[in-house]
């Protein structure tokens, strides 16, 4: 069997390992802690992060990076965004020339404000730059692990690599499209977590469907504004990596960001919320990065600004809602009015 390495034995890494194993690959699932690897191998289930999803016999968990990577032609990175740089750096000596590196983390590096493929490029030899890809889209691990129909996007700097990733993952239960817009796919996957925090806060305050729909719609508008300024295509944000991922993250209780937002809306402090979650909430650090990017690129992102205020300035969530609703009146799609259709 062809060997694939999945680095990160959290919920998403485990779900992807299951998906690949069902296609007949020999999957090496790397866990940072040896006790986690032993637990997975003994129970053929990740009782810590993805309980209820049986793990096929052709998945072997290990805490030894060299064992996981030796002889593989595909490396799937499913570690938290803040661990991507360190993990890639540790992998360098074991990566073969033709290896494809597929990032599945959704976030930004806080210290540098860089996209994760940019981080990967900095840590890899030049000849591997074109072997980097991204897998993103609306895909809760809990559902993927059970084989529920899911559709995602593979993006890369060249079409050959994107299609390789497509072929690697695609199945009757896991449909993969390709998209050449790496910037847009990465930003859509990262920034939707900020809006999911906002919709969670709204839910925690007791607001309803109208409010959630407004936040999601205006949220994708500000994600698109920043994305286009950073070089992405606006069309990407209308697809699976944009509105698709936004919908699932803002509406599902599988979403850690939404659940964290609910607790914030109910009046809990950030430290308490993160302790209660017990797992990484990517949207917290991404909010910091998105706020700084909006200032760097001089892009108006009012929802992001209010979420930042709640998370890091102790702002009352109700005040944030009032500030959003009390903003000066605007046209819905400024670009249409400026450059396109005019009033009759």
Spacing of C-alpha 305 from chain mean position: 20
CA distances from 170 to 73, 166, 262, 274, 344 (A): 17, 6, 34, 34, 48
Which residue is catalytic, options 23, 48, 121, 192? 192
Measured at the CA of 200, the angle between CA 298 and CA 175, to 5 degrees, comes to 85
Measured at the CA of 216, the angle between CA 213 and CA 217, to 5 degrees, comes to 85
Q: How far apart are CA 37 and CA 227, in angstroms?
A: 38
Q: Let me know if 94 is exposed, middle or buried by CB neighbors in 10 A (0-12, 13-18, 19+).
A: middle
Annotated active-site residue 173? The verdict is: no
In 3D, which of 140, 134, 269 has the Cα closest to residue 196?
Answer: 140
Beta partners for 5? 28, 75
Q: How far apart are CA 210 and CA 125, in angstroms?
A: 49
Residues with catalytic function? 192
């Amino acid at each position: 069997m062809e060997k694939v390495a999945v680095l990160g034995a959290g919920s998403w890494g485990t779900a992807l390992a299951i998906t690949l194993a069902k296609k007949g690959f020999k999957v090496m699932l790397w866990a940072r802690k040896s006790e986690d690897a032993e637990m997975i191998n003994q129970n053929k289930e990740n009782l810590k992060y993805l309980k209820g999803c049986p793990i096929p016999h052709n998945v072997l968990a290990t805490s030894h990076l060299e064992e996981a990577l030796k002889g593989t032609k595909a490396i799937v990175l499913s570690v938290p965004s803040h661990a991507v740089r360190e993990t890639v750096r540790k992998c360098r000596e074991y990566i073969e020339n033709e290896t494809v590196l597929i990032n599945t983390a959704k976030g930004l590096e806080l210290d540098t404000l860089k996209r994760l493929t940019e981080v990967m490029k900095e840590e890899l030899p030049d000849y591997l730059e074109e072997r980097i890809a991204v897998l993103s889209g609306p895909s809760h691990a809990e559902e993927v692990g059970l084989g529920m129909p899911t559709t995602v996007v593979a993006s890369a700097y060249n079409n050959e690599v994107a299609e390789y990733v497509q072929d690697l993952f695609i199945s009757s239960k896991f449909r993969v499209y390709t998209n050449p817009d790496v910037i847009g796919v990465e930003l859509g996957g990262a920034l939707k977590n900020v809006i999911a925090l906002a919709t969670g806060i709204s839910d925690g305050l007791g607001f309803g469907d109208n409010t959630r729909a407004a936040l999601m719609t205006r949220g994708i508008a500000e994600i698109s504004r920043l994305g286009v300024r950073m070089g992405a295509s606006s069309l990407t944000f209308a697809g699976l990596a944009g509105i698709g991922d936004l919908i699932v993250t803002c509406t599902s209780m599988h979403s850690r960001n939404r659940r964290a937002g609910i607790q914030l809306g109910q009046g809990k402090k950030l430290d308490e919320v993160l302790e209660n979650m017990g797992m990484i909430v990517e949207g917290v650090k991404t909010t910091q990065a998105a706020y700084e990017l909006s200032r760097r690129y001089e892009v108006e992102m009012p929802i992001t600004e209010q979420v930042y205020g709640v998370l890091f300035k102790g702002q009352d969530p109700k005040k944030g809602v009032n500030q959003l609703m009390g903003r000066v009146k605007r046209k819905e799609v400024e670009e249409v009015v400026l450059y396109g259709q005019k009033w009759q």
